[in-house]
Structure 1
Amino acid sequence: MTAGPRRAVLGQNQYGKAETRVVRITREGTTHHIKDLNVSVALSGDMDDVHLTGSNANVLTTDATKNTVFAFAKEHGVASAEEFALRLARHFVTSQEPIRSARIHVEEYVWDRIEAPDAGPARHSFVRAGREARTAEVVHDGAGGEVVSGLTGLVVLNSTASEFHGYVKDRYTTLPETRDRVLATEVNARWRYAGTDVDWDAAHALAREQLLHAFAGTYSYSLQQTLYAMGARVVERLPDVEEIRLSLPNKHHFLVDLEPFGLENDNEVYHAADRPYGLIEATVLRDGAQPRIPVEPARP
């Protein structure tokens, strides 16, 4: 006997908005505090009809879940990842009858404050923990050796003290000018030493320190200006360094439009976009030195 066709049935299902990148900045005078979250929302409940018939009558849009993340960051702040996730989950379950369960996954990115003497009393500069790697490249032949040290993944952020305006505008320009913006980048740097008689650990630590101090202490009108200030400080403070090559992707933070929800966004809630991004690269040389560090392909 031939078995009849098997009947399909709907099993467990959920939906939501994944990886909403929200940055909440709280300003207490010149001291700023930052909460950087990656929030994913998964909702489940009475959702059979949307799968079986295409009826959206019980569907809260995923766009609305994303907007809720941004609005709650403004209205309630972010005391902790756990508190924020609980508040969101309770909201979705209690405000939408078809939703029986809400699962909120939050990744929090930790930022340490940069304590830089050049920044004065302002405390708005941060370095992201846990991303950085140290690099070294050595070439040796019969005539001697050459050492290029570096670092990658050093993510830094200034929550103010950055502007961007006065640039060329053509028919395709849509970016608005700004007198106060978040400036964030991931520092990828390589620097070449003049010789090999160097205390490598001490020199690397000092170069990293100078990069951070220049980033925190520069009032920026462009990422290019900040790049040059960082490279120049390394060359000027480390006599063994002949040149430094910097590659700085602009990690854009866009103000979220909260007006549709009746909320004012006074430089508090940002969407952290990961791509596309501006990529600023340049070499800074000691006067009289010749560039020797090869230009690497652009980051993928």
Structure 2
Amino acid sequence: MSAKLTRNSYGKNAVNLSKVIRHKDYHEFKQISVNISLEGDFITAYTEGDNKKILATDTQKNTVYALAREHFNSSIESFGIYLSDHFMSHNPQIRQVTIDITEHSYTRLSFDDNQHPHAFMGNGPAKNTARIVHNADDLRVWSGVKDLLILKTADSGFESFIRDAFTSLKETDDRILATQCEASWLYDTNGQDFTACATAIRNTLLKTFAFHKSLSVQQTLYAMGEAVLAEHSIVKEISLEMPNKHHIPFNLEQFGLINKNEIFIATDEPYGLIKGTITRE
């Protein structure tokens, strides 16, 4: 029997890094997790155990920490680009580098309208994300957000869906719409202020979610993506995942009470998962 190795990659995952940026009067705190994936001329490492072209994953980890000292002072996108440039320029056997970064964001605490210089609070479960894919021909940058828990208690319904022998779900024109949204958008260019762009795009997503009259999660997902493309010409495409965090009305009639769409059971599993990618025509 003959065998052939096709596409392959290797790298280091979950490189967890915290950095304090010390200004004269205050500190910044950054906490990230970096995943690195390398593709290239590594076939003999697999087929012959020849490691001459292998950049050890431990070296990749150390590179993240060493380069962060001087080069992680702004956005996760800019740091990811610098990392990918380093791996590409120092290793001719590498054809493509993929860097994924997740950022746990913090805000300085405020007391009496004054920000504390070095005390912070985490900004909930939501995390900023970045993906950089760098090869000899192209450099593509995605920004995003995940675990963004958003909810609204009105302007959401779900009606006129298929009913068959196994359908038990009741139609409604008034329900809670809750999701733990994940969004990722691809930029047309790479020299912008990534932090400002991501903040503005995130605001567009939230505003559209809040004010959209939702007939389904699918419709709201599309409206959110469509709004980002309409308001931000720098975005080439956007992908969203919106798991439906169900809030099911509780039956109070068994106690002789009326539930005026006020009391719900919050359920995490099972859940509906809606995905979509919106691009420019």
Shorter-normalised TM range: 0.5 to 0.7
Matches of 2:137 and 2:189 in 1, distance apart? 12
Q: What is the TM-score normalised by the length of structure 1?
A: 0.52
Q: Are 2:267 and 1:237 aligned?
A: no
Matches of 1:282 and 1:208 in 2, distance apart? 17
- Deviation at residue 142 of structure 1 after TM alignment: 2.8
Matches of 1:224 and 1:198 in 2, distance apart? 31
Matches of 1:176 and 1:190 in 2, distance apart? 33
Matches within 5 A, 1:1-300: 130-287=124-281
> Over aligned residue pairs, what C-alpha RMSD do you find?
1.0
Larger Rg: 1
Q: What is the TM-score normalised by the length of structure 2?
A: 0.55
Q: Deviations over 1:5-63 (max 9, x none)?
A: xxxxxxxxxxxxxxxxxxxxxxxxxxxxxxxxxxxxxxxxxxxxxxxxxxxxxxxxxxx
Matches of 2:239 and 2:176 in 1, distance apart? 24
Structure 2 gaps of 5+ residues are: 1-122
Q: How many equivalent pairs are there?
A: 159
More strand by share: 2
Matches of 1:165 and 1:253 in 2, distance apart? 16
Give the share of equivalent positions with the same residue, in percent: 43
Residue 100 of structure 1 is matched in structure 2 by none
Q: Deviations over 1:158-198 (max 9, x none)?
A: 10111111011110011011111111111101100011111
Q: Deviations over 1:50-86 (max 9, x none)?
A: xxxxxxxxxxxxxxxxxxxxxxxxxxxxxxxxxxxxx
- SS where residue 129 of structure 2 aligns? strand
Which has the higher relative contact order, 1 or 2, with Cα contacts under 8 A spaced 6 or more apart? Answer: 1
Following TM superposition, the consecutive aligned residue runs of length 4 or more in structure 1 with deviations greater than 2 angstroms are: 141-144
- Deviation at residue 207 of structure 1 after TM alignment: 0.8
